[in-house]
Structure 1
Amino acid sequence: MMQTGIDVLAFLRQPGLEELASCFQARSYPKKSTIFSPNHPEDLIFIVASGRARLFLAYEDKEFALAILERGDVYSTHTRAQVSALEDTTLLCARTSQVRRHMLTLPEFTATMVRVLGEVLKHSISIIDDLAFRDVQTRLVRFLRFVATQSGEAQPGGGTLVRLGLTIEQLASLLGATRQTLSTMLNALEREGRVELRGRGVIFIPNLDALDR
């Protein structure tokens, strides 16, 4: 859920960018499948065309989620991170060397990619900042507010409905917490009337300001 606010897919559909767009080929992956691992042989840049993917680090039996990649999000394979499909997902993939070549000849594309990479870096710094300086409950509240403002559904009677589409385990991994700790926090917020848990991955927030307080 990086939500860079930059629609790279729409950018690639602009007239005059047909050659660049042709570099990106669609690849589809079923739900729960591994998309890329650290040992992936290809050096690729990819864009999420549909579905959602989980970006995470893994060591032995431990995992730490870095982000949920959604439609329009951009990432690459040349990192230690792994990528798996949270649901049926289609990516547009291009070799990094091809993209780099077009960046040299298309200033507008270079500017767009710099903005995208800047937003990705901003997201990464936010993760580090939260883990280093904020407790679990604060991280949870900040995350819920972020998702609510980005993709929440305003309800007729007031409040915001958030459809995370994540299990407790996945959300805990994303926030750097254990499943038990996160469940305790969510139940406490519900007892205080700041959220209502409405089924798997669905949370109703009566008042965003009250959530912060």
Structure 2
Amino acid sequence: MSVLKAIGWFQDFTDEQLKEIESAGQIKKYAAKELLFVQGEPLTEYFYVVEGLVHAYHQNKDGKRWIASLFASGDLFPHTGLADDETHYPANGRTITACSLFMIRSVNMYELMRRYPVLERRLTEFLAKKSQELMNRYADSVLEPALDQLVSLLKRLAKPSGIPAAGGWVLIPNVMTEQDMAGYLGVTPETVSRLLNRLYREKRAKSAGRGKIYIDLDQC
């Protein structure tokens, strides 16, 4: 059986097809906070998240980061080079949690796109989703309080990897650090800490130890 999963970009693929795709690349495990690629470097490989959480970010000369995208199980990244002629990585890529990633060289990825036209459709869906996400993030930053933005982020993290628990709670096993959440939301880590504590007090969320959090989707 293939290590790849029939979800996300490979939704509805058969195990035979997944094993064929897997043979075109390699599965590699990464620790948390490992650098995958650097903005401006030649784009040589694409990545598919088998397990874990990854972000793509920009960083200024003062070291301040802005998280542009999050990638979880079922996501393939980056999309650059698949929809245009760009040949360099558009941002920095780093693991947030320990990850299992499928790596495939760009020339093999282009061949897969030709072999499986459904991947063209997945790319179109991804670009539309990413465009809507960026518009929502901009609107939220202008119109929505930081607490609502944080709740939306937690709900999003719960979708790909949330584990149902007793009492209607959902466990997010690979939650972002407060610093990473702050970089994604455009607020300070202190603000994220204060808002998380508020969610805990209101019993809309509860800590489950380092890197884990329970949320009540109905209450949130």
TM-score by length of 1: 0.75
Offset at 1:59? 0.9
- Structure 1 range deviating more: 57-66 or 152-161: 152-161
Whether the aligned pair in 2 keeps the contact of 1:35 and 1:85 (CA below 8 Å) is yes
Counting aligned pairs with the same residue, the percent is 25
The answer on 1:57 being equivalent to 2:58 is: yes
How big is the alpha-carbon RMSD for the aligned residues of Structure 1 and Structure 2?
3.1
DSSP-derived class of the 1:129 partner: helix
Unpaired segments ≥5 residues, structure 1: none
Whether the aligned pair in 1 keeps the contact of 2:178 and 2:193 (CA below 8 Å) is yes
Offset at 1:71? 2.5
State the alpha-carbon separation in 2 of the partners of residues 52 and 119 from structure 1: 18
- 1:8 and 1:127, CA in 2 relative to 1: closer, same or farther beyond 3 A? farther
Whether the aligned pair in 2 keeps the contact of 1:9 and 1:49 (CA below 8 Å) is no
For these two proteins, the number of residue pairs brought into alignment is: 205
1:170 alignment partner in structure 2: 180
Return the letter of the residue paired with 2:93.
Answer: V
The answer on 1:6 being equivalent to 2:8 is: yes
Whether the aligned pair in 1 keeps the contact of 2:8 and 2:73 (CA below 8 Å) is no
1:15-35 residue CA offsets vs partner (Å, 9 max, x unmatched): 4993x6544344444432211
State the alpha-carbon separation in 2 of the partners of residues 182 and 93 from structure 1: 33
Q: 1:199 aligns with which of 206, 209, 220?
A: 209
Return the letter of the residue paired with 1:134.
Answer: E
Q: 1:147 aligns with which of 157, 174, 177?
A: 157
Unpaired segments ≥5 residues, structure 2: 1-6, 81-87
TM-score by length of 2: 0.73
Q: How does 1:128-147 map to 2 (within 5 A)?
A: 128-147=138-157
Whether the aligned pair in 1 keeps the contact of 2:199 and 2:205 (CA below 8 Å) is yes
- 1:95 and 1:140, CA in 2 relative to 1: closer, same or farther beyond 3 A? same
Q: How does 1:93-108 map to 2 (within 5 A)?
A: 93-104=103-114, 106-108=116-118
State the alpha-carbon separation in 1 of the partners of residues 26 and 117 from structure 2: 22
